[in-house]
Chains A and B, each alone.
Chain A
Amino acid sequence: MSATNTVSTPSQNPKTSSFTQFFLLLLGLIVLVAVGGLFNPVFLTGENGLAILRAAAMSGIVALGATFITLSGRFFSLALGSTVMFSGVTLAVLMSLGLPFSIAVLLTFAIATVVGAVQGVIIAMGANPIITTLGASALLAGLAGLTTNGVNIPIESELVAWIGNARLIGVPTQTWAFVVAIGIAWWVINKTRFGHETVLLGANSASTRASGISVARVTVSVFIIASISAAVVGVLAAAQFSKARVMGFDGLDFDVVAAVLIGGTAIQGGRGSPVQSALGAVVIATIQNYMLLLSWSQGVRTLVTGAFIVLIVVGFHIAGRRKGA
């Protein structure tokens, strides 16, 4: 009853502290890099740093979009890995029909928008996001399999090959895209009405509705944003190898969820930021990169990554609970 509320208040941290975890994570990353560099000089080279950022870009860009879903209190989408794959296939199929790259990309994004919007509408009508996106994931994977017969589709275009492998001022396209995406996501969440409404919705959907904000509009929008961010990665991945792959995106949903959680976005919504998720993706990529340099086997790498994620997420959860945040 309220007596307990009143008395327990002083012991709680009354202020919001969404950035504490961000700085702790940043500090952790710096320590990780410093210690790693001490034992393995290769780790500290600029070339390796770019490799890390390039690896982080794939899950990172998707995580930026996925954070909008989590922030809005709609948990996660499990369809993003499939959307990445589906978008690559869409691009390759459209280009194999003879469409120029620019039009094929626009169409791919348009289709991804529809894919996100349909899921958003279903969820706005009250369906569970996890179940809905799980279903959508299978649907998209099935569609892609049907179109490709499970065979990778080559993309024969010098422009696409250039986009996939170019290095502007020595930095890979994927990394550029990641940096630009971080900027856009930061701007949207901090500077636009929609961004603020997303946080309100995650903090309390009933209060958001009672304040006259359209819950359905925000819900549909966050799923569109996540879907488009997956399409960006789908196009970039297809360009990198000059073919649309139908395998190899299985672990992406896990990496994305891990990046969002490690970044410190509250799983129930209302607290966090896409930028934090981007940092989360970089931390995961850094650890994986270091283990690669140590030539650890695949099994060990997966094991360590998993243990690390659980450790951080549970650790922050306990710390947050103690502060009453």
Chain B
Amino acid sequence: MIEPGKPTDQLILEMKDIHKSFGAVKALKGVDFELRRGEVMALLGENGAGKSTLVKILAGLQSPESGSIKIDGRPFSLGNMKLSYAAGIAVAEQELSVIGPLSAAENIFLGGVPFSGPWTRSRLAEKARGYLESVGLGHLDPAIPVEQLAVAERQLIEIARLLATKARILVLDEPTAALSDADIERVKSTVLRLAKAGHSIIYVTHRLGEVFEIADRIITLRSGRSSPPVNVSDMTLEKVIEQMIGRPLAEMFPPRSSGFGEIVLEMSGVTSPALNVSQSLRVRAGEIVGIAGQVGSGTESLLRAIAGVDVVETGTIHVGGKLLPAAHTLSSAIQSGVAYCSSDRKLDGIFADLKVSNNLVAPSMKTVSPRGLVSRRRIRDVTATISKQMAIDPTRAEYRVGALSGGNQQKVALGKWLGIQPRVLLVSEPTRGVDVGARAEIYGHLRRLADEGMAVVFASSDIDEVLGLADTVIPMYRGRQVRTVSPTKVTNHELVRDITHSYDEAAP
């Protein structure tokens, strides 16, 4: 029964001492979890902490090895999707599972049509309207193909689909991961409205700011163990992060260096198809510039323009005092000493099926194959040098890079550029999908490369990362650089305001 009202103390879901292993790896080592009626419980944790495993157990995609589960105070066993359905649990997976060519109404009733007898479009549409309204899409024509909707709307359709299963417990796995700020607001207000209507919601997110806006309580997972639930009102952002990473935040970042060299990268008045506002930037040797911004704010487009991935339409870029040719290409940028790591390393940063050495020499094929003939010795030399610099485990040199951890993959993606000795290193989201321990290591590598004379520019949607690592911080909002500021002269909160542009709204 879904009863509207305030959260009650009554537990709708209770999990105790849940264990789950995959082979030798223990994903969950005794997790306790609970959910009250009508509350929004944030489930937090770093990558690999066990969040996804817990979500999969709730969805019935994995069965726990041991532990007890109670639904409405009565013992209940989960383990397949039918049982989860019977328990009233519905999960919106991270990867959107809406089907593009089908209509909104058809997507909502993917799990089954809510009436017997022949179904017609109009009957389906009529039934769908209620669910569309409850996720704030009441204005939408139920017959519209989902592929014509914005990503946020598709996300909301997905939530409507959960509601159509009559679920009482909604599990939302990073519903805002791929959304821009305006769209995030729509999802958040829908979540709040659903909780008010009596649904109990488990909200998995990496955006910690959201937690303070919509969640009632927090449970944090770290290396397969859970912390006791805490009220959001008793927590600060710093405390949440420390709970997630298990140590004080300060140790994450290497100390800053004092002096910088001459200007290595200088762009002025640059626009590209993705950057309407002209961009200027100066980076000195040894300097790390952190561009802070949300997805779609133009941070990555800025790097892509410098790297030659996006065509530069107007303006000039100098690298080491030399002007890059107009509308320069990726390979001419590389030849000028510009290395670029995109935010999606699986897509274009690594060769997952090839071994480490093949990955590391990819940008330096010319160096390792003089006159077009490959020299095994040179490949070995380049691989050994980079592996040493980036502390890549030499015993894994023969491994497929896809079999390495996220942190090691990122070291390969970054390290492969060292073979061409770049002067400018551009990195988008340097620690996406990287575990906590490896994060500090990546930051250390970036700082060392800067100390050796490289100009480093990174883009990140993680404010703490930008504040902790960069020498110069540039927040971006909707394709515009808000300002250029020293990280010591700006607070976390001010930066969040810069990149979300929430000056007019009341501060929390």
**Chain A residues near B (Cβ < 8 Å):** 1-16, 190-197, 199-200, 203-204, 206-214, 270-271, 324
Contact = CB atoms under 8 A, between A and B. Distances in A.
Contacts of B405: 6, 9
B365 A213 contact: yes
A208 B396 CA distance: 22
A207 B350 contact: yes
Residue of B27, B47, B354 ringed by the most chain A CB atoms within 10 A: B354
A194 B25 CA distance: 41
A16 B348 contact: no
Nearest to B433: A2
Contact of A3 (B50, B347, B372, B373): B50
Contacts of B51: 1, 3
Given A7-B53, A16-B354, A203-B354, A210 B369 contact: no
Given A2-B47, A6-B405, A194-B372, A11 B23 contact: yes
Given A2-B48, A15-B355, A192-B373, A7 B27 contact: yes
Given A210-B340, A211-B362, A211-B363, A7 B25 contact: yes
B399 interface: yes
7 contacts: A7-B53, A9-B25, A10-B24, A196-B369, A209-B330, A211-B362, A211-B365
Nearest to B25: A7
A196 B374 contact: yes
B349 interface: yes
Contacts of A14: 396, 399-400, 403-404
Q: Is the interface of A mostly helix, strand, loop or mixed?
A: helix
Contacts of B173: 1
A213 B355 contact: no
A190 B376 CA distance: 10
Contacts of B24: 10
B362 A208 contact: yes
Nearest to A5: B406
A4 B53 CA distance: 7
B349 A210 contact: yes
B171 interface: no
Contact of A206 (B27, B53, B347): B347
B155 interface: no
B400 A196 contact: no
Contact of A10 (B25, B340, B342, B350): B25
B6 interface: no
B94 A207 contact: no
A210 B345 CA distance: 11
B365 A15 contact: no
B331 interface: yes
A212 B334 contact: yes
Contacts of B340: 210
Given A2-B48, A7-B53, A203-B353, A15 B366 contact: no
B354 A193 contact: no
Given A208-B362, A212-B331, A16 B22 contact: no
Interface in B373-430: 373-374, 396, 398-400, 403-406, 416
Given A6-B405, A6-B406, A207-B348, A270 B52 contact: no
A302 B23 CA distance: 45
Q: Quick one: which of B51, B331, B342, B400 has the most chain A CB within 10 A?
A: B400
B362 A207 contact: yes
Given A15-B403, A206-B347, 8 more contacts: A1-B51, A2-B47, A6-B25, A14-B396, A190-B374, A191-B374, A193-B369, A210-B330
A206 B334 CA distance: 15
A183 to B, nearest CB: 15
Nearest to B332: A212
Contacts of B406: 2, 5-6
Nearest to A203: B351
Nearest to A14: B403
A195 B53 contact: no
Contacts of B271: none
B335 A204 contact: no
Contacts of B416: 211
B421 to A, nearest CB: 14
Nearest to A266: B353
Nearest to A2: B47
Contacts, number: 137
B330 A212 contact: yes
A59 to B, nearest CB: 27
A6 B48 contact: yes
Contact of B47 (A1, A10, A15): A1
Given A16-B354, A192-B374, A197-B365, A3 B27 contact: yes
Contacts of B466: none
A208 B352 CA distance: 12
B347 A1 contact: no
Given A191-B374, A206-B348, A212-B334, A3 B369 contact: no
A170 B372 CA distance: 37
A271 B398 CA distance: 15
A178 to B, nearest CB: 24
A207 B25 contact: no
A200 B23 CA distance: 32
Given A2-B433, A191-B374, A207-B362, A270 B351 contact: yes
A204 to B, nearest CB: 5
Interface string B54-72: 0010000000000000000
Q: Which of B372, B374, B435 has the most CB of A within 10 A?
A: B374
Given A2-B406, A203-B354, A210-B349, A192 B399 contact: no
Contacts of A8: 22-23
Nearest to A208: B362
Contacts of B23: 7-8, 10-11
B460 interface: no
Contacts of A191: 373-374
Contact of B374 (A7, A193, A207): A193
B244 interface: no
Contacts of B366: 193
Contacts of A4: 52-53, 56
- 9 shortest interchain CB distances as A-B pairs: A14-B403, A206-B348, A193-B369, A212-B334, A7-B22, A3-B52, A203-B351, A211-B362, A210-B348
B64 to A, nearest CB: 14
Given A3-B48, A6-B48, A9-B405, A15 B399 contact: yes
B49 interface: yes
Contacts of B358: 196, 199-200, 203
Given A1-B94, A200-B351, A192 B22 contact: no
A275 to B, nearest CB: 17
Choose among A197, A200, A214 the residue with the greatest number of B CB atoms under 10 Å from its CB. A200
Contacts of B435: 6
Nearest to A204: B351
Contacts of B354: 16, 199-200, 203, 270
Contacts of B374: 190-193, 195-196
A5 B407 CA distance: 12
A31 to B, nearest CB: 30
Contacts of B47: 1-3, 6
Contacts of A196: 358, 365, 369, 374
A194 B373 CA distance: 8
Contacts of B335: 212
A204 B402 CA distance: 12
